[in-house]
């Protein structure tokens, strides 16, 4: 099962890079928009599209990164009263359900991606293919499915941020 740890490490590295790029891109786009709008009294609509682009990539890659670190918000009141074995079983069941749900939504997102690709939809101002926006959803869901599966398979795996 060492290869699972290798895959998990690779996924975390990729997600870290995507999150950093998304944060820098979103921060830069928002800064440019503020400077243009409030200091120069001018607006560039393409910057707003870039903000949405980087925001979506940040959101969905961040979701996958939180999944990889198993750091989702959860209540521990009930599980704190359980034995370690019951906690482990509960964690695995929740991970399996989460993975199945993400897989279902990933399949739906592939259908939507195919539709967007077929109609060659483009952004309004930048004229970029909107499949680039939709790809953020696909990547986030797919990597979440993989990390949920790894965490459910590897016995008593404790993840650290």
Q: Is 122 helix (H, G, I), strand (E, B) or coil?
A: strand
Residue 84: what pLDDT? 83
What is the block-wise mean pLDDT of the chain (161 residues), using blocks of 10 residues? 83 94 95 87 82 94 90 73 83 90 96 94 89 94 93 64 42
Which pLDDT score, from 0 to 100, does residue 86 have? 85
Q: Looking at the domain assignment, is residue 16 inside a domain?
A: yes
Distance of CA 28 to the CA centre of its chain: 20
Classified as helix, coil or strand, 161 is coil
10 in a structural domain:
yes
Phi/psi region, residue 55 (left: phi>0; alpha: psi -120 to 50; beta: rest), is alpha
Q: H or E element: which one contains 95? A: helix 84-119
Tell me, yes or no, whether 116 lies in a domain: yes
Residue span of the structural domain in which 133 resides: 2-153
Q: Is residue 160 part of a domain?
A: no
Closest by CA to 137, choosing from 58, 60, 55, is 60
For residue 21, what are the contacts with CB-CB under 8 A and spacing of at least 6?
A: 57
In a domain, 114, yes or no: yes
pLDDT at 114: 95
**pLDDT score of 13:** 92
For the chain, the domain total comes to 1
158 in any annotated domain: no
97: left (phi over 0), alpha (psi -120 to 50) or beta: alpha
DSSP class of 71:
-
Encoded tokens for 64: 């996958």
Helix, strand, or coil (residue 149): helix
What is the C-alpha radius of gyration for the chain, rounded to an integer number of angstroms? 19
3-state secondary structure of 83: coil
Q: How many other β-carbons are positioned within 10 Å of the β-carbon of residue 1?
A: 10
pTM of the predicted model as reported, rounded to 2 decimal places? 0.83
pLDDT at 159: 46
Per-residue pLDDT at 122: 92
């Amino acid at each position: 099962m060492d290869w699972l740890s290798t895959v998990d490490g690779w996924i975390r590295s990729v997600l870290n890079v995507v999150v950093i790029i998304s944060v820098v891109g979103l921060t830069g786009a928002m800064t440019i928009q503020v400077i243009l709008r409030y200091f120069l009294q001018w607006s560039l609509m393409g910057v707003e599209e870039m903000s949405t682009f980087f925001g979506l990539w940040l959101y969905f890659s961040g979701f996958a990164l939180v999944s990889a670190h198993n750091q989702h918000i959860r209540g521990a009141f009930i599980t704190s009263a359980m034995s370690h074995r019951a906690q482990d079983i509960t964690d695995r069941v929740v991970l399996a359900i989460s993975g199945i749900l993400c897989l279902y939504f990933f399949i739906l997102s592939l259908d939507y991606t195919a539709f967007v690709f077929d109609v060659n939809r483009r952004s309004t101002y930048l004229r970029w293919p909107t499949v680039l926006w939709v790809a953020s959803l696909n990547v986030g869901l797919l990597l979440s499915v993989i990390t949920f599966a790894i965490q459910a398979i590897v016995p008593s795996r404790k993840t650290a941020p």
